[in-house]
C-alpha cells in the first residue's frame, strides 16, 4: 500500500489533472443528455 502513496506523492499533479478530466467528462456527458432530452421535447412540441 505504501507504493500507492509514493505514486500519489510523486505524481500528484497528474492525479489532480486526471480527476479534473473525469469531472469535465461528466459535465459534458450530462449536458449532452440534457440536449438530447430538450431536442426531443422540441420535436414533440412542433
Report the SS3 class of residue 11. coil
Predicted local confidence at residue 28, as pLDDT: 99
Predicted local confidence at residue 6, as pLDDT: 87
Please give the Cα distance from 32 to 25 (Å, whole number).
10
This prediction has a pTM of: 0.70
Q: What is the pLDDT of residues 1-46, one digit of tens each?
A: 788 888 888 988 999 999 999 999 999 999 999 999 999 999 998 7
Predicted local confidence at residue 45, as pLDDT: 86
Supply the Cα-derived Rg of the chain in whole angstroms: 19
Amino acid at each position: 500500500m505504501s507504493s500507492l502513496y509514493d505514486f500519489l506523492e510523486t505524481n500528484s499533479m497528474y492525479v489532480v489533472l486526471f480527476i479534473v478530466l473525469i469531472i469535465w467528462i461528466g459535465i459534458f456527458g450530462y449536458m449532452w443528455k440534457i440536449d438530447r432530452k430538450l431536442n426531443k421535447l422540441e420535436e414533440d412540441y412542433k
